[in-house]
């Protein structure tokens, strides 16, 4: 089964709540799933006109929806990594937190000059048989809005075709299953699995859904293939392969962000 980061699910389902396209309870269930209830902390930010400070994801989304005039607002995803900081909301302190987390959601409400950056902190516990997670979202005051990213879902889909081919070839060349038997099931899940049904709202466009599934597959392959250099591989080959994986991973992250943030693009098949 392929899946999206928690920030991607929050951005997609949260936008659905702000635009009154999905019920609040369904959105929260899709974001939280089997985690412990997500808590919310505030760091130099506030919601104007909201009587009390939201302290969990339910009250947070309800508070944003209360502030959004006529159901207008959006939550935007960014997946920054060192060397590829695009989408960081600013100011610098917020950027540092987002880079450390590797994911961030930026909330924007029409008619409000403020923006809010939501950065998750995840603490996993339990075992592979009974996993659990404590998730805390810190809400920061973000910098003023900048020009949106230029990458479209259509452009991302084209780039992903090449990225998927490169990533799959890297995994095949590594031949993980041959020398690490425990990885065989994971490889099969990446190769054959579909995107989790509750990863995004049901009104997500077919093209965005295709891009999300392909991008998730590429990122899963990059993660799996990057765990080892493999058997009988030279340092030169390992370095070349690592660079190729970083490049396709960057393409996949950009595509995933574009697909989640495609709220204003025309709906096309």
Residue 236: inside a domain: yes
- Same structural domain for residues 130 and 157? no
- Taking the model in full, what pTM does it have? 0.87
Domain with 82 in it: 6-141
CA neighbor of 167 nearest in space, from 263, 101, 93, 252 = 252
Q: How far is the C-alpha of 208 from the C-alpha of 181, rounded, in Å?
A: 34
Residue 269: inside a domain: no
- Same structural domain for residues 49 and 93? yes
- Same structural domain for residues 133 and 170? no
- Same structural domain for residues 76 and 182? no
Q: What is the pLDDT of residue 232?
A: 44
Q: How far is the C-alpha of 60 from the C-alpha of 46, rounded, in Å?
A: 11
User: How many domains are contained in the chain?
Assistant: 2
Q: How far is the C-alpha of 248 from the C-alpha of 269, rounded, in Å?
A: 25
Asked if the model's pLDDT at residue 109 lies above 60, the reply is yes
Residue 146: inside a domain: no
- Dihedral, 92, 93, 98, 100 alpha carbons, nearest 10: 110
- Same structural domain for residues 170 and 125? no
- Same structural domain for residues 224 and 168? yes
- Same structural domain for residues 124 and 198? no
- Same structural domain for residues 162 and 130? no
From 106, 141, 176, the end of a domain falls on 141
For the stretch 29-46, pLDDT in tens is 999 999 999 999 999 888
3-state secondary structure of 140: strand
Residue 245: inside a domain: yes
Residue 265: inside a domain: no
Share of the chain above pLDDT 90, in %: 47
Q: Are strands 39-43 and 131-141 parallel, antiparallel or unpaired?
A: parallel
Please, what is the average pLDDT of the chain? Answer: 84
Q: What is the pLDDT of residue 247?
A: 83
Residue 110: inside a domain: yes
Residue 267: inside a domain: no
Is 176 in contact with 226 (CB distance < 8 Å)? Answer: no
- Same structural domain for residues 13 and 106? yes
Q: Mean pLDDT, to the nearest integer, of 192-201?
A: 88
Q: How far is the C-alpha of 54 from the C-alpha of 42, rounded, in Å?
A: 9
Residue 176: inside a domain: yes
Q: Mean pLDDT, to the nearest integer, of 156-168?
A: 76
From 141, 176, 209, the end of a domain falls on 141
- Higher per-residue confidence, 117 vs 241: 117
- Same structural domain for residues 222 and 246? yes
- Same structural domain for residues 133 and 172? no
From 82, 116, 141, the end of a domain falls on 141
- Same structural domain for residues 113 and 183? no
3-state secondary structure of 135: strand
């Amino acid at each position: 089964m392929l899946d999206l980061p928690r920030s991607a699910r929050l951005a997609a389902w949260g936008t659905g709540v702000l635009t009154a396209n999905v019920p609040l309870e369904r959105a929260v269930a899709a974001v939280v799933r089997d985690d412990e209830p997500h808590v919310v902390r505030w760091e130099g930010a506030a919601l104007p006109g909201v009587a009390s400070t939201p302290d969990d994801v339910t009250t947070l989304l309800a508070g944003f929806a209360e502030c959004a005039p006529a159901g207008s607002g959006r939550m935007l995803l960014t997946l920054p990594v060192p060397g590829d900081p695009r989408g960081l909301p600013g100011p610098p302190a917020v950027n540092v937190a987002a880079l450390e987390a590797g994911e961030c959601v930026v909330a924007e409400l029409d008619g409000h000059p403020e923006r809010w950056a939501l950065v998750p902190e995840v603490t996993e516990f339990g075992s592979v048989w009974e996993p659990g997670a404590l998730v805390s979202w810190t809400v920061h005051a973000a910098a003023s809005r900048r020009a949106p990213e230029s990458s479209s879902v259509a452009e991302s889909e084209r780039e992903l075709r090449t990225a998927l081919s490169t990533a799959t070839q890297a995994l095949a060349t590594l031949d993980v299953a041959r020398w690490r038997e425990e990885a065989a099931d994971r490889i099969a899940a990446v190769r054959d699995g579909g995107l989790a049904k509750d990863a995004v709202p049901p009104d997500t466009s077919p093209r965005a859904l295709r891009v999300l599934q392909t991008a998730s597959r590429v990122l899963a392959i990059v993660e799996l293939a990057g765990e080892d250099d493999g058997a009988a591989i030279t340092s030169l080959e390992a370095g070349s392969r690592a660079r190729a994986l970083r490049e396709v991973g960057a393409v996949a992250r950009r595509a995933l962000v574009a697909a989640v943030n495609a709220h204003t693009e025309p709906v096309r098949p």
